[in-house]
Each structure stands twice: as C-alpha cells, then as structure tokens.
Structure 1
Amino acid sequence: MKTLLNTLTFLTYKLPRNIIIGAIALYTLFGFFIVPLIMESQVEKFIAESYKEKVQIEKIFFNPYTFELEVKKFAIPDTTSGGIDKNRLMFERLYLNLEIFPLFVKEITFKEASFEGAHVYLSFYKQQKNNWTSFAPKKAEEKKESSGAPWTLVLKKLSFDKDYFQFRDFNYPTPVNLPLGPLSLKASNVSTTIGNQSALESLFINLGDQGSLLLKGKVSLSPPSADIHLTAKKFPLNFLTAYMSNTTYLSLNQGSLDFNGSIDYEKAVFSIKGDAQVNNFSLISTKDQTDILKIKKADFQSLFYSTAPAKFTLEAMVFDELKSYVLLKPDGTLNYKELMKPTPASQVAPTTSETATAETKKPGLNYKINKIKLINGQLDYNDWQIKPKFIAHIHTLNGDIGPLSNNPENKIDIALNGMVEDQGKFTSKGYYFQSIKPLDLNLDVKFANIEMTTFTPYSGHFMGYEIKKGKLFLDVNYTLKKNRIVGKNKVRLDQFTLGEKVESKNSTNLPLKLAVALLKDRKGQIKFNLPLEGETNSPKFSYGSAIRTALFNMIVNIALSPFDFLADAFGIGKEVQLIEFENQLITFKAGNETKIDSVTRILEERPELRLEILGTCSEKEFVVEGAKEQPVIEEAQYKEIGLKRAQLVQNLLAKKGISAERLFVMAGKKNDDSIGKSGAVLIFKAD
C-alpha cells in the first residue's frame, strides 16, 4: 500500500514538472536551433519560387524568449549586370525585436529594427532596364478582399548604421555614378497606421569625400506626407555631367551645392524652400576641353518651388566671380553654339494639332526672380578669325539685372559696370521687356578710356594698318521696337594714330590716314556720330555687319569728299576748295578773302592735315569780247600766273600762323576748265 501511495505521489508531483521541463527544453531547442533553420529555408524557398533568385545567408539567430531575430551576412546576388554589380542587396546584420501581444490586435510591432553595413545597388542599362527588373514576383492570383481589419506595421525604433546606396545609369555616353554613404538613420514611431506621424530624428548621408546630407522632421506613410528640414553641405554636382552628355558637349567637372531649408509633401503637392549656394562651379567643352563658364560662388536666396500650382520664386541670385569665355572660331562659329548635340530624327516627336492644342492648354511654370546680381564678374572674348588673334578682357563686372518673370508686362532693369583691360571703363543702364513680342528694349552703354591698341588685330585685318596709339570713349543708345533697332553711337577717339602698314587681303583701299586727319582736331580728338538702323527680323541683319557698314560708309564719304565733310563740320561753303582770282591778275575776286580765313580755321583745327595749293590760269581769262582775233598766250605764262597765285595763298596762310611746313605750292598749270573758273585749287593731304 505504501508503495502504491509513493507511486501515485510521484505521478502527481514529479511527472508534470518533468513534462514542463521537457516542454521548455523542447521549446528552447526548437526556438534557438530549429526555427532559424526553418526561417532560412523558407526565405530561400520564397525568393527562389517568387523571384527565381538564390539568396546567401550566413546565419540566422532567434531568441524564442525575447523574440529577437538577428540575420548575419545576407546577400541577393546580381546575375543580370554582367559582373558590374556583384550583389543587388547585402547587409552585415539585421536585428529585429518583435512584441507578441500586439499581434492579437493585428499589429506587427517591432520594439527595435536596425541594419548594419547594408549595401543597395541600383544600376540602369539600355532601354531603361535595371538590375532589379528580373527581381519581381510572379503574378499572384487575385484574392478576395478580406473582410477583417488590415494588419498594421509599427517600428518603435528604426536605425541604419554604416550603410551604402550605389546608383549607376549606363544610358548616357558618360555613365552616372553616384555613391551615397556611409549613411546612418534614426527614426521612431514608424507606422502604417492612417494618420500616424513618424519622427525622422536624423538621416545623415555622406557624399563623396566631403559632401553630406542631413534630414530631420516628420513623415507619414498613410497618407504619404513629409515635413523635412534638409541641410546639404558640399553636395558634389559632377554626376550631372552624365545627364548632360546626351544633349550637350558639356562637362561639369567641378562644383558643389550647399542647401539649408525645408521639403514638404502633402496631398500630392511637393514644395521646397530655403537658401542654396553653389561653389567652385566649372563647365568645360568636351570637344576641345576649353573653359565655358566658371563661378566661384552663386547664392540663391529665399528659394521656393511648388508643384501645384507650378511656381518658382527667388529673392536674389548672386554670382560672385562669374567668368564667361566666348570664342569666335576661324570658321565663324561661336563656341556657345557648338555646345548642343543635334537631336536624332528618331527622337523628334511628331507634332499634331491635337498635341499642339494640348501643349498650349497645359499650364506652365509661374516664375519670378527678383534680382540677378553680379560681383566681380569677368568676360573673356577671343576672335580667332583674324591674325593676330583678338583678345578682349572685361573684368570687375558688377551690377544688377531684374526682375525676371513670365509676366508679359515684366520690365527688366539693367545696371552694370566694369573694367576693360587695365584702365578702360564700361557702364550700361536700361531696360527691356522679356515677354513682349517683338522685343522692346532701351539700353545705354558707355565705354571710357579704352586702349585702342587692343583692336590692332581688327585694324590690321580690315584697314591694313596697326593702331599706334589712342583711346576710345563711346556712348551708345539702342532702342528696339517692333523689330526695328535704332542706334545712336557717339564716338570720341583721343590721340588716335595709325601705325605701320599691314598686309591684309581683306583691307580697304580707302585713304584712311586722310580720313583720320580730317577728323582729328587740334586737341588730338576725333568726334563723330554713327547712327544705325535695321530690321532685326531680317535674315540678312547682323549687328556687327551693320556697324562695319555704317563706319565704312562714313569713311568713304569723308575721304572721297573732304570739302563736303569740312563744310558741314565748320559751317562753311563747299566752294572754299577754289580761291578765285581776277582775270590775268594775282588779285582775289570779291569775297574770296573770307575763304582764306575759313581755310586757316580748318588747318588750325586739323593739325595733321597738309595743304597742297595748285595755281591755275585759263584761256578764258585772256578772251577779248568782240575782237576778231584773240591774243596768243604762251603756256609758260599760264603756269607763271598759276604759280604766283599759289604762292600768294601760301604766304597769306603763313602770315595767319599756319606752319609753312604744312603748305606745299604745286607747279602752275594751264586750266582747261570750260567754264573758266581759274585760281588756286586746294587739296588736303595727310602724312
């Protein structure tokens, strides 16, 4: 009996404890050892069946008591890129800590979720296919919607550490290569619950050697929204070269971006606002590796952009040390016009009336830039069409342009000033209406103290002379209304002097030195107005050609008709070219004494002019009216009278203070003029 009681006592007390202990041991064994194996097998099976890919997993750890899951060295190999990317996705460690009780209310809650050493690779190939294209699940059969409440996902704490994202795009002549990382993320209360706001405590991304991005704020997954503060420092911009390489011959080989502002997304509307700064920006031509544009610093102040309505505003765009390089090549093309690649015919979309109507109805971007400011800008202009090459350097360029907008009544004010070469000055002031068609413009430009020797390549090419010395002062006003440009050019040249003769097949045969001498006053200055008019919508109109034509015509008129020019310049009669004498005498006809005074004034005001005096005498001076026979005069007598007349003019001019070295008496001549106007013919010459 006692033995039976002992047996019952053992069965009553010892057996349940052993069962519990055995169950716990079995649970422990299953949880720590079996569950990881099942998980690894199921993950591999799921990936293989759904995505036709094989994953690599080094180890899975699971704690059945704390419900902590750890996956070590997970990788999805890339079998489509031809070895460019070894993996699509890999990470060193994934840690998850699941809470049990929320499962009873259809909520998957992780107390903590973290990644360490994750690498994500995204590469695009031709036809926009990427290394994830094949990694897509099979089409599942449509299932009837569940009548129950949906499951929600909650991550109380989410973190990434020492992770990387590698983006490549091989659809461009220059492939895109944008490595992001290492990056770190800290977020909390991440949930798919409708209306829940997750806290993005920090997302820090390293870019290149020195660049970085820092994002902080709030994010909602359902419905999607974001209120993020973004700080970018030294964000490298050279990856944009790849996106330009399809359509341009440009390379952005240097440049970084700083940004401090906010990004908002709500109800499908994206907006960004803040201040941005671009530093050490450099564009070069990939055709010949020449510089196109350099900017030391560009500030974009109070920037705002919104997608709905499409709107862009900017308080100010400030360029510090902007350097532009303009090159006119030997074939007459500008370097800027060769920067765009031609669009292949296969890529030009056909335009129909329907598409055109749709485009016109499509609302455009409403934009406004209040001011563009230049600080210490520079423009280098090179003309390789002529030899020697012409080089002009405009620097210390400061001023404002703006505002700019798509308002058709927007008036853009221009106020700029700068230096030309070492001592020259440049100023401009005016306005134009950018959206009015045709263009409405009014612009005043002034150049002062410009060294004319800079233009020797042009003077040698077009005029056949070097420029020995001289300075240019130029006041220009241009108005443009209804495609008609009207230019008023007030030109002043100080001490302008032509130098040595230059052999050039393009030079003119006009007496340029005479034209210069006729124009230059006793102060060594040349002043003239050069008007210009033309129809800008004419295919034959060229501003440079119009200027050259106007200048050429002026020189022709001066050089070929000097007395006409002088008559207008000094307010005298054109007949001053001939000093008339009484018949057979060395005595002026009445009124001709004043011509000597006019010639004296001309020579005083035009010190580079020389005067050749040709005395003449005609037969008609010896005609006796009513006589049957006319006297016979020897030719020597005609010449003698002509010579004395010329000498008289020379002596009178010398007495009035004109240097005898500038007065040349020509041999007397018999005048065969049928109208009988004889006397002293004045001929202006230049050295």
Structure 2
Amino acid sequence: MTPEPSRSTSAAATTRSPRRGRRWLRRLLIATPIAVALYTVLGFFGVPWLVRAVIVPRIGERLNGSISLERAAFNPFTFRIELERLEVRDDQGERVAALGAFDGNFEAWRSLVQTSWQFQSVQVTKPFLLAAVNADGTLNLARLVKPSKEPATPLREIPRVVIDGMNVDDGEISVRDSSLPEPFGLDFAGLTFDLTNLDTRPGNPNKASLRARTRNGAELEWDGFVESTPFASQGKVVARNVDLAPFMPYGLLYTSGRVVEGRLSFEAEYELAPVAEPPAATATLVSADIVGLKAEHEDQPLLEAPTIHLADAAVDFLARTLSVASYEQAGGSLAVDRDADGTLAFVRILVSPAPRDTGSDAAPQADESVDPRTIQYPVQQFAAALRNLVRDAAGAWTVSIDRAAVSEHQLRLHDRSTPRPVETTVLVKAAEAGPILSTQGYAIPYRATIEPDGGGSVESEGTLALFDRKFDLAVKLVDVDATPYAPYIPEYLEAVRFESARITLDGNLAGSGKEDGTLDGAWKGKATIADVRFDDANTSSPILEVRSLGADGDLGFSLHPDGGRQVEWTGPLSLTELALAAPSATPREANVATIGIEGTAKVDRGADGVARAGWSGSVDVGATEFEATTS
C-alpha cells in the first residue's frame, strides 16, 4: 500500500507552483519590453545601418564603378522600407542609374503564408537609367557588372512577387548609341508607370500603363497586359509628335540622305506570346501620320511631304504576312536627279550597311529551331523563342497593299547625262495604285493624272510589273510641250538639234523584258505632233519646221542592253506645212503644203551606232515650192 503524502509536503508544492508561475510572468513582463525595445532599435536603426554599411558596399564590390545611398529607413512594425538618393556610376564616373526615392510596404505575414514576396505598395520617384551602346557595340550596362568567377546557375522559375499597387513617377531614361556613323541620343523625361495587382505567378496577366515624354515635346503612352511565365504581352501603344530627325544616325547605315524635319504620330496594337501554343507575334498599325517631312541629300532638297497618312497596316511575323489598307500623301515635292554618267540619285544615296562589331565572338546559331517549351529555364526559354521568331521571319513574305494615293505632288527632274541638262517639273495631280500583291509579282495597277511643265495634261492607266519587266498602259497626252525634253533627241541626230514640239497622244503602250536584258514593246494608237522644229546644232538656225504631224498605226520596238535597237512603224503619216532649209555652200529651201505617207518603215540601229533604214509604201505630196540660192 502506497503511503499518502503528508499534508505539509502537499501544501509546500502548492505554494511553490504559484510562485514559479509568478516568476515566469515577471520575467516575461520584463523581457517583452526589452525585446520590443531591442527589436525597435534594431529595426529602426540596425536595418538602415545594415543596408548602408554592408549591403550597398557588397553590391559595389560587384560593379565596375561605384554605388552610393544617402538615406535608408525601415519601420519594423509595418515593414516599410524607404531609400533616398541611390546612385550608380560607372568606372568613368558617369551616372548610369539612380533613383530619388523608393518607398515599399512589405507584407511579411502574407509572404509567409503564401510563400511569395508580397507588397502592399511600391512607390518609386525620379528613377534614372542610362542605356548606352559603346563604339565597339557593347552595352554599358553589361560592362557595369563584373563577370562572375563561376557561371551562374540558370533561373529555374520566376519568383512569385505580388504588389497590390506600384507607381513610378517622374522617371528619366537616356539612350545613347556611339556605334553609328553619327552619335545618337534621345532622352525620355516625366516617365510615369502604373501597375495594379501585379502577380508573377504563371499564366497571370498583369495590367499596367506607361506614360513618357521627350524633351522636344514627343509623348508616348502604353496600356496593356504582361505575363511573366511564360513571357507574353499585348497592348496598345500611342505616340504623338515624335521628331524623326534625331533618329537619322540609324538611317545613315542605309542611306546618305538625311531627314531634317518631320513629326510622327501613330497608334498601334500588338500581341507577343512566342512560347504560347499556338505562338503569336502580331502588330497592327491602326493609323500613322507624318507631317512636315523634309529630306536632303548633300545639303540639297530631296523630298518634301506636308502630310503622309497610313491606315490599317497589319503584320504577322510567324505567318510572314504584311498588309496595308491605305497610304496617302498630299502635296510636297521629290527631286529626281540623274548625274552625268546616267545614275539616278536614288541609287547613289543608298548605302550597303557594313557589319557592326559587337565586341565579342558570338557563337554560331544552329539552323534547326528548338521547341522552347522543352526548356525548363524561363529566361532561356524566352530567348530561344525569340531566336525562332527571328529565324522564321527571315523567309518569304506575303505582302498586300490595298491602296496607295498621291496628290498635288511635284516631281523636279534634273538630268545631267544629256548634252544639255534637262530641268523641268511635273505636277502629279492625282495618282492611285493598288491592290499591289506579292502573290502577283508586285504588279502595280494604277491610274494617274499629271500636268507637265509648259502646259498640257497626261492621263495614264494600266499595270506595271517591275520585277517581271512588263507593262501594259493606256496613255493619253493632250497638248504637252516637248521643249523641256529636247536634249534627249540629239544623240540620234548629230548635226541637228530638236528644239520644240507639242504632242497629243491617245493609245496603248505595252512591253516586256527578256532574260538577256532586251525590252520588246509596242504602241498602238493615234499621235499628233504640232509646231515641230529642228535647228542646226552649230548655228541654231531652223532646218525643219512642221506645223502638224499626224500618225495612226502600230509602232513596234526592241531595245537591247548593248545599245542596239529596232523600230518598225506600220500605218499612215500626214504632215502639213513642212518647211525645210538645208544650209550649205548652196542653200536650199523647200515648202510643202501636205505630205501623206502610207506603209511600213523600219530603222535598225546597231550597237556600233550605225543606223539602217528602210521603207515601203506610198507617198502623196501636195503643193511644193523649192528654192535654191547660189552665193
């Protein structure tokens, strides 16, 4: 039998138990405020000190430059962290990145429960970033970080970050490129970025918006969605009043011409999801307007276009399709120059871009595409998808242009390849082309109304197939002054110079090119040439004058690349009031009231410049006067 404890022992135990509880309570009451005080001190003072004295210097050790932070603050109870005046400079002392202030409210409890980085809000003020391409093609940001001694382990997944609200205010981005023929620079200021309910979990679209402006008055807006895993984005971009001239350093890679004025505004929509199934990479230009465009070449005016409007242009990079609903241009002028050796200025201003040195030996890319969905690392997955996109876009494209229209546009012709320079202007009153389809060899159906210098009008309608060297045109000229084009005639008549004429035509002109470069063509229709005059090339005195020359028939021609050509005319010709003067030691003059010719005439000019002519048919000569004077 177990003995029962004594009453005294039981009473002592009962007494010690409340005392022990009270001691623990006293200790807890003493330790709690001490712990709270210690936590408060370490939170308010220790964390900022740790950021400034440990974390920032550690980051600086990884940089080819320096990093500084003026102020850090931390609230251990709300987990709010504040940073002020953070600045990163490269090894040359140039500011590369900075921010005026960072204010973030970290949600510790939510982060623990949901195993993610949770923020109630993030506010960034006055951030700055300098993105510069050096002369050797390398990026300044890539040089800023020292290379790691060991290769970094690829990121297996994007960490989940949740931000209820994020705002970037008064940001600035400076872009520089020194690898171009001329340095390029562009500054974006007043940048604002708003993002609500950011969540980087896979498949979650995050709605965001961006606003920016440049120092010269351009505005940029973006509204859309972004997914982090796999990366995808879609949205709308609006740009207003973008100055085109500062972008010319990139244009100089391809042309020696230069845009000196012009403002661009556009609205576009896009979708980019290269890893999705099916993948997507599309863009739609809802509308684009260029105003006040001016371009020069060698300080001489080349192009002026007061207004250019482009509407409903769509591109699908994966399907390799490009469609343009409408292109319209009103007013302005274009210089069409031809130098002494016959080369058009458009050819001379084109430049073949030289390969750009990237500063590194890039590994050759494999010819075969890699399915990005088989790659487990998200960054490498996205990079592989982009490489596939670029590779696929390099194939043949299907292009369609529904309508292209030009009105009130002046063409200034200056040709120095002729014995006498040709300088004239042509006003394109209205010209419209389309549809232009790659599936039809880019053949251009068109119609145009033109007013040449010196009066008259030209109307034409038909199809130009430039790549196939084919054309089929209906042409109508009414009282067009041929005088400005007189210098083109003397190469066929050495001692005689064409001086003037007025031309009226109504017919059809068709032709096609051969593989050897020969161009065969035919004209069928009516022609009237009035007030024709040929002068002596040396004395400028009249040799032949014809009041009117009429023709109604068929003209066939063949032009060879070696300079040879054949011309054959079949049909009637009529001449009225012909006056002929043949100056020589014994001058002769003849006046013919009318001449009627019916038959076939052939002219064969060889590559050596020697011409052979033949004719068969009938001639009806009206009243004729002949006079010879012997001095």
Query: Match for residue 493 of structure 1?
Result: 529
Q: Secondary structure at the match of 1:126?
A: coil
1:98-113 paired onto structure 2 within 5 Å: 98-104=106-112, 105-113=114-122
Query: Match for residue 531 of structure 1?
Result: 555
Query: Match for residue 259 of structure 2?
Result: 252
Instruction: Please list the CA deviations of residues 459-488 of structure 1 after superposition, one character each: whole Å capped at 9, or x if unmatched.
Output: 799777888865322346332235242132
**TM-score normalised according to structure 2 size:** 0.74
> 2:337 touches 2:415 (CA, 8 Å); kept in 1?
yes
Q: Tell me which of 73, 86, 102 is aligned to 1:74.
A: 86
Q: Secondary structure at the match of 2:62?
A: helix
Amino acid across the alignment from 1:539: P
Distance across 2 between alignment mates of 1:65 and 1:292 = 68
> Gaps spanning 5+ residues in structure 2: where?
1-18, 358-365, 368-390, 583-588, 600-618
Distance across 1 between alignment mates of 2:485 and 2:442 = 38
| Residue 89 in structure 1 maps to residue 125 in structure 2 | no
Instruction: Please list the CA deviations of residues 431-472 of structure 1 after superposition, one character each: whole Å capped at 9, or x if unmatched.
Output: 13455xx43321223332223443466679977788886532
Query: Match for residue 451 of structure 1?
Result: 481
How far is 1:305 from its partner? 0.8
Q: Secondary structure at the match of 2:49?
A: helix
Change (3 A) 1:470 1:365: closer
Q: Tell me which of 107, 120, 123 is aligned to 1:114.
A: 123
Q: Tell me which of 480, 498, 502 is aligned to 2:511.
A: 480
Amino acid across the alignment from 2:160: T
How far is 1:390 from its partner? 2.5
Amino acid across the alignment from 1:170: S
Amino acid across the alignment from 1:540: D
Change (3 A) 1:513 1:428: same
Amino acid across the alignment from 2:182: T
**Percent of aligned positions that are identical:** 16
Structure (1 or 2) with the larger CA radius of gyration: 1
How many pairs does the alignment contain? 533
| Runs of 4+ displaced beyond 6 Å | 7-15, 141-146, 343-347, 359-362, 459-469, 565-568
Instruction: Please list the CA deviations of residues 239-295 of structure 1 after superposition, one character each: whole Å capped at 9, or x if unmatched.
Output: 43112223321212222222223111122522111222222222222xx21222222
Query: Match for residue 277 of structure 1?
Result: 289
1:523-562 paired onto structure 2 within 5 Å: 524-528=547-551, 531-535=555-559, 538-541=560-563
| Residue 214 in structure 1 maps to residue 221 in structure 2 | yes
1:301-320 paired onto structure 2 within 5 Å: 301-320=311-330
Change (3 A) 1:487 1:324: farther
> 1:51 touches 1:138 (CA, 8 Å); kept in 2?
no
Change (3 A) 1:150 1:204: closer
Q: Secondary structure at the match of 2:48?
A: helix
> Gaps spanning 5+ residues in structure 1: where?
1-6, 348-353, 573-597, 604-608, 613-663, 668-687
Instruction: Please list the CA deviations of residues 220-254 of structure 1 after superposition, one character each: whole Å capped at 9, or x if unmatched.
Output: 11221222122111223224311222332121222
Change (3 A) 1:251 1:228: same
**Higher-helix-fraction structure:** 1
- Superposed CA RMSD: 4.1
1:191-230 paired onto structure 2 within 5 Å: 191-200=199-208, 202-230=209-237
> 1:259 touches 1:277 (CA, 8 Å); kept in 2?
yes
1:628-667 paired onto structure 2 within 5 Å: none
Change (3 A) 1:429 1:8: closer
Distance across 1 between alignment mates of 2:142 and 2:154 = 28
Q: Tell me which of 610, 624, 648 is aligned to 2:625.
A: 610
**TM-score normalised according to structure 1 size:** 0.68
How far is 1:512 from its partner? 6.7
How far is 1:135 from its partner? 2.5
Query: Match for residue 129 of structure 1?
Result: 138
> 1:452 touches 1:467 (CA, 8 Å); kept in 2?
no
How far is 1:218 from its partner? 1.8
Change (3 A) 1:36 1:134: same
Distance across 1 between alignment mates of 2:107 and 2:308 = 52
1:279-428 paired onto structure 2 within 5 Å: 279-285=291-297, 288-341=298-351, 363-385=395-417, 389-408=421-440, 411-421=443-453, 423-428=455-460
How far is 1:570 from its partner? 5.3
Instruction: Please list the CA deviations of residues 104-134 of structure 1 after superposition, one character each: whole Å capped at 9, or x if unmatched.
Output: 1321111111221111101111332121122
Change (3 A) 1:344 1:233: closer
Query: Match for residue 10 of structure 2?
Result: none
How far is 1:559 from its partner? 9.7
| Residue 440 in structure 1 maps to residue 470 in structure 2 | yes
**Higher-strand-fraction structure:** 2
Change (3 A) 1:360 1:472: farther
| Residue 513 in structure 1 maps to residue 513 in structure 2 | no
Query: Match for residue 618 of structure 1?
Result: none
> 1:276 touches 1:303 (CA, 8 Å); kept in 2?
no
Q: Secondary structure at the match of 1:513?
A: strand
Amino acid across the alignment from 2:76: P
Change (3 A) 1:473 1:127: same
Distance across 2 between alignment mates of 1:145 and 1:188 = 26
Instruction: Please list the CA deviations of residues 378-414 of structure 1 after superposition, one character each: whole Å capped at 9, or x if unmatched.
Output: 2110123457642211114312112222204665311
Query: Match for residue 43 of structure 1?
Result: 55
> 1:295 touches 1:323 (CA, 8 Å); kept in 2?
yes
How far is 1:52 from its partner? 4.5
Distance across 1 between alignment mates of 2:566 and 2:327 = 35
Change (3 A) 1:223 1:374: same
